[in-house]
Structure 1
Amino acid sequence: MNAADLLPLLRGLTWTVALTAGAFFIGAVLGVPLLAARRSRLWLLRFMAMSVIQIVRAIPPILWLFIIFFGLGMGVMPISPFNAALMGLGLIAAANLAEIYRGAVASIHFGQWEAAAALDLGRWSTFRDIVAPQAFRVALPSAASYLIGLMKETAVASTIGVAELAYQGNQLSQLTFRGLEVFALVGLFYVLLSLPIAWLSRVADGYLRAKVAR
């Protein structure tokens, strides 16, 4: 393969990174209110949040993309393939990260909530200043693992025409008839993307553990 053949893959790589980062950001933000609703004292709100999370996680990502792009995009409002993929993967990320957050918060001993209440701290202040910093450290490894999985899931966006890495690899293999080389290189790109995420996660986790130990 020559340098010209690499250009489409590099363009696809940028779309993969953009889609991964955008969907993860959406999920990280929307996961917080989902967590709050999931832990609400109102049973109806808890039930609704739990239902949303279970439904979103039960439906395959490719089907969500079809629903948004071919359903909403063609029947309700025009939407580009990239934005449809961003919405779909962001929604899925929100449901999964909400569960990661919930597990992290649940790992914090209830005695800390009781101690904060004894000090007359409000529920929000307790969560923000005491529980959340500890839960963040617990959630970090799982969130990083999910981010790597999300990056791989972006390949389904090729089914609705997003020119990300897998899409460009498929196009290039059909043009060059060198599928083994092309997809081996595509796989290498995914590995190279995942390694920094895993490394940064370990570094951040080690830093936070050391900070707590002091």
Structure 2
Amino acid sequence: MSVADLLPILRGLGWTVALTAGAFIIGAILGVPLLVARQSRLAPVRFLAMTLIQIIRAIPPILWLFIIFFGVGMTLLPISPFNAALAGLGLIAAANMAEIYRGALSSIHFGQWEASAALDLGRFWTVTDIVAPQAFRVALPSAASYLIGLMKETAVASTIGVTELAFQGNQLSQMTFRGLEVFAMVGLFYVLLSLPIAWLSRVADGYLQAKVAR
């Protein structure tokens, strides 16, 4: 495969990274209010949040992209393919991250809240100094695994015209008639993208483990 053939693949790689990072950041941020609503003491709020999360997770990613791009984008609000993919994958990421957060919080023993109250620590300091570091460490492996999965899910963005890695690979294979070689290269790039995520997750987990243990 020549350097000229690799150029479109590398451009697609850039869009894949941008889409993955953007959707994950959106999900990590929006997952917090979803978690708060999911854990609310008000039953209607808790029910609505739980229902919303289940609906978002039940609908396939490709259908969300079609709803946003072809539905919303062509009838209500014009939107580019990349922004439609970012919105759709970010919405899905928010629902999944809320569940990851919830699972991490549920792993923290309630006795730690009681001990903090006995020491007269405010709720803010209890959350930031005691609960959050432990919960973050529990959530980190699941979040890293989801990030790798999200990176692979970005391939569905090619169906609405986002020129990411899978899209460029498909275009190149049709032009060169070397599908096996092209898609093997595309698969290799996905592997190379996932390795740093897994490595950083292990490093961060080791750091948090040492910090929480102190």
What is the TM-score with the length of structure 2 in the denominator? 0.98
What is the letter of the counterpart of residue 27 of structure 1? G
* 2:208 maps to 1:199: no
Superposition pairs of residues 63-142 of structure 1, within 5 angstroms: 63-142=63-142
Instruction: Work out the CA distance in 1 between the residues paired with 2:43 and 2:123.
Output: 18
CA contact (8 A) 2:69 2:81 kept: yes
Equivalent residue for 1:143? 143
Closer, same or farther: CA 83–187 of 1 in aligned 2, 3 Å: same
Equivalent residue for 1:180? 180
Moved more, 125-134 or 90-99: 125-134
- Quote how far apart the aligned CAs of 1:170 are: 0.3
Equivalent residue for 2:9? 9
- Quote how far apart the aligned CAs of 1:195 are: 0.4
**Cα offsets for 1:151-186 (capped at 9, x unmatched):** 000000000000000000000000000000000000
Instruction: Work out the CA distance in 2 between the residues paired with 1:205 and 1:125.
Output: 22
Instruction: Work out the CA distance in 1 between the residues paired with 2:129 and 2:32.
Output: 15
Instruction: Work out the CA distance in 2 between the residues paired with 1:196 and 1:178.
Output: 29
CA contact (8 A) 2:133 2:208 kept: no
Secondary structure at 1:77 match in 2: coil
**Cα offsets for 1:53-84 (capped at 9, x unmatched):** 10000000000000000000001000000000
Instruction: Work out the CA distance in 1 between the residues paired with 2:75 and 2:33.
Output: 29
What is the letter of the counterpart of residue 83 of structure 1? N
Equivalent residue for 2:21? 21
- Number of corresponding residues: 214
- Quote how far apart the aligned CAs of 1:130 are: 1.8
Instruction: Work out the CA distance in 2 between the residues paired with 1:93 and 1:51.
Output: 16
Secondary structure at 1:120 match in 2: coil
What is the TM-score with the length of structure 1 in the denominator? 0.98
What is the letter of the counterpart of residue 211 of structure 1? K
What is the letter of the counterpart of residue 212 of structure 2? V
Instruction: Work out the CA distance in 1 between the residues paired with 2:34 and 2:120.
Output: 26
Which 5+ residue runs of structure 2 have no aligned equivalent? none
What is the letter of the counterpart of residue 183 of structure 1? F
Equivalent residue for 1:190? 190
Which 5+ residue runs of structure 1 have no aligned equivalent? none
Instruction: Work out the CA distance in 2 between the residues paired with 1:132 and 1:52.
Output: 25
Instruction: Work out the CA distance in 2 between the residues paired with 1:202 and 1:153.
Output: 23
- Quote how far apart the aligned CAs of 1:208 are: 1.1
Moved more, 174-183 or 204-213: 204-213
Instruction: Work out the CA distance in 2 between the residues paired with 1:37 and 1:118.
Output: 27
